[in-house]
Chains A and B, each alone.
Chain A
């Protein structure tokens, strides 16, 4: 008798809590972005393909499916850290096989050497190069992600990757980067 009461009580409780939990899981469902979206958000969107995938989103999908998080040189250390937070994986140093973290660069076409072959236009993943066949091409610096993909196709090697110059607007209070002068004035005796 006692045993059956205990069983019934436990059973009823189990059902009650089960229902409660079930209800709670529906009622308080957290609408999270799918993981791929979140990962894609973290990636630098250079679309450079250095990770071995054709673009950032495919890599995001690969990470969601268990690929390593340390294959993105443009994102570097900080991206790996964010990915580690997001995926719960351990932050690893950047995989050197995919390249090294570098200062931010943008492509620059030496325009008088450009022959207008449009190869770089086709290579650019973000359409940041304008030009037409047999016409000189140029890079939209604002849109360039510095992915490097246009450099190799150029038959005349007229594309340079130049580091983004620091402007007063993008200066980070780093006095070491400031050129220093002196006071070249006449001494007043």
Chain B
């Protein structure tokens, strides 16, 4: 189950490799694209650089629209451990920062920086490092992170996280398996840049201090094996192993199993079993970043398939739109009955929904098949339980059971069959004689389960917040009652003495407070009375409070509490007065100012204007509602839609003289809002009308 280090090494030395269960042997079609040298792709005019191209969080944007950037200049910065910056692929001007379709199977938009190339292609100042051993570990890792390097094999895991592991690393495995059919970018890279890859490995070895470095290459790439073997002559600690060609040997877990015989524990990391793995492309990028100071702004992309005229590998700047790449490689539209572009290989790649999708850090291949080149089953039939899928599954799952449960949406059962241990390699669907898109079912099930968990967490949080709010409201209520009780006591105490006495004692701060409290209490009482009685609220009452309130405000300054109380009292009074005037306003509209100190600081004019506007709107709302009710029974379909608009526009009119006296700006705002309200109402009325119709 868990071979010891010495056993593994001795087996490796003898050339004995373990294997993984299952696997399939699709035709590799690699000769289509690996015959020619890596070609430099001419610059595109416009680049679209997604802010996030790796697993983790976005970096913070460093540029703004209109900024001029140099080639290699960072566009974002890493401010969290799991974020990796992206860089300008060429010099030019940032023309837009917008949502743009990105390299994701969903074809949905994500935040991207759009860069217009100036054609100069001038590097930002670079800081090459001739001797990485002179730098300490932290500095190197920081350099890796700043260079924006994330795994280039497929998943896009930030490299600096992997490289800064503190666990003891027994095996550093370099993944040159490239097991997917058609893809040859790593193959060509190994053939042409073996030295660079191995320098990258040296840097990683320096960082991780592995006991053993294993370079694994599938045996269908003899040229790459030769090229690497030539380079390792000077590095005897690197063991080059040729592994059996079997899909998905290049999967991280599978390659670890093949090389070491160990299995990554579920929910664990390779590091838990002393193994860490890097893709050859990542090693090359590490060398570029450290030795030459170049950030990750380009990668090798295989453009292949029989619907391109010049299949091969292209050194492509990140952010290059796919259609530029395709036009350079010679897309043959007439070879495809229905256009189709696959990013990645035929087994795990995804179809693009738009050719404007940019090349990103994980884009290793663009596959443009001619019609019938890929045998893609569209003809799903009943499962015959042949278990060919189980025999092909490298994770020894039971794909068939997963399929039944996923299809029936019995997700708990699907999870019982370890749905989430599926690596989505596609071997099961590849062998399925009934052409069932098994992986698609699993993906859907996984997405559903994840969302369900999210929902659950969210509802848990909502519940907590609801409970917290309830508790808070209860506490507030209790406090209020306590205050009322105290106020009542104070009033009773005050009632014993003559009212004048209290007024005379203005010089005394203590009495000041009592007076303020009294004023406040009175104001509140008045407000409450106004609220409760609505129409019955008498003008007298309102006058009384307004009379009281100025008294309170006239009290000597320096007593903040008194001032606040006074302000509140004033507001209350005003409201009470308004309530009395416009009795139709619903009583629940009155805000309890105790909740916030804002009204005390807000300028009186604004407040007045706003209140007036609110009243106007409320009226408009009411009018609109009435209009709706009136017009609803009418059979004329156009009437309800237009009538509320007219009515609600007229509605604020009676209030306008007051407001214009106050502030014309407030009026303008009010009118605009009223118009909006009217629009909303009209819309609502129309909708209701439609429903009725």
Contact = CB atoms under 8 A, between A and B. Distances in A.
Nearest to B368: A183
Contact of A155 (B451, B459, B606, B614): B614
Given A126-B466, A133-B598, A134-B610, A172 B107 contact: no
Interface string A34-61: 0000001001111100000001110000
A9 B460 CA distance: 56
A66 interface: no
Contacts of B598: 132-135
B444 interface: yes
Contacts of B104: 168, 171
B390 interface: no
Given A156-B673, A181-B355, A125 B333 contact: no
A127 B341 CA distance: 47
Interface in A144-189: 145, 155-158, 166-168, 170-174, 177-188
Contacts of B639: none
A127 B355 CA distance: 44
A156 B621 CA distance: 8
B526 to A, nearest CB: 19
A105 to B, nearest CB: 14
B632 interface: no
B353 interface: yes
Contacts of A186: 327
Contact of B621 (A45, A155, A177): A155
A110 to B, nearest CB: 8
Given A155-B621, A172-B447, A182 B355 contact: yes
B54 interface: no
A179 B610 contact: no
A119 interface: yes
B327 A188 contact: yes
Interface string A99-117: 0000000000010010111
B440 to A, nearest CB: 6
The interface centre, meaning the residue of A43, A45, A174, A177 with most chain B CB atoms within 10 A of its CB, is A45
A110 B341 CA distance: 41
A47 B353 contact: no
Given A115-B617, A172-B444, A127 B469 contact: yes
Interface string B315-332: 000000001101100111
Given A127-B465, A188-B327, A167 B108 contact: yes
A183 B108 contact: no
Contacts of B443: 173
A116 to B, nearest CB: 7
Given A183-B341, A185-B331, A188-B332, A157 B680 contact: yes
A178 B108 CA distance: 7
B438 to A, nearest CB: 13
B339 A157 contact: no
Give the secondary structure class of B's interface: helix
Contacts of A185: 323-324, 326-327, 331, 355
Interface residues of A, number: 50
Contacts of A173: 105-106, 440, 443-444, 447
Interface string B671-686: 0010011001100100
Nearest to B448: A172
Interface in B505-553: none
Give the secondary structure class of A's interface: loop
Contacts of B459: 43-46, 145
A143 B461 contact: yes
Contacts of A64: none
B673 A168 contact: no
B589 A171 contact: no
Interface in B583-614: 589, 591, 593, 595-596, 598-599, 602, 606-607, 610, 613-614
A26 to B, nearest CB: 31
A46 B462 contact: yes
The interface centre, meaning the residue of B451, B463, B468 with most chain A CB atoms within 10 A of its CB, is B463
A70 interface: no
B106 A168 contact: yes
A49 to B, nearest CB: 11
Shortest beta-carbon contacts, A-B, top 8:
A181-B354, A45-B459, A171-B106, A157-B680, A178-B107, A185-B327, A126-B465, A183-B355
6 contacts: A46-B462, A127-B465, A135-B598, A178-B107, A179-B101, A185-B355
Interface of A: 40, 43-47, 55-57, 110, 113, 115-119, 125-128, 132-135, 143, 145, 155-158, 166-168, 170-174, 177-188
Given A115-B610, A157-B681, A168-B110, 8 more contacts: A47-B466, A110-B676, A125-B469, A126-B462, A127-B468, A132-B598, A166-B108, A168-B102
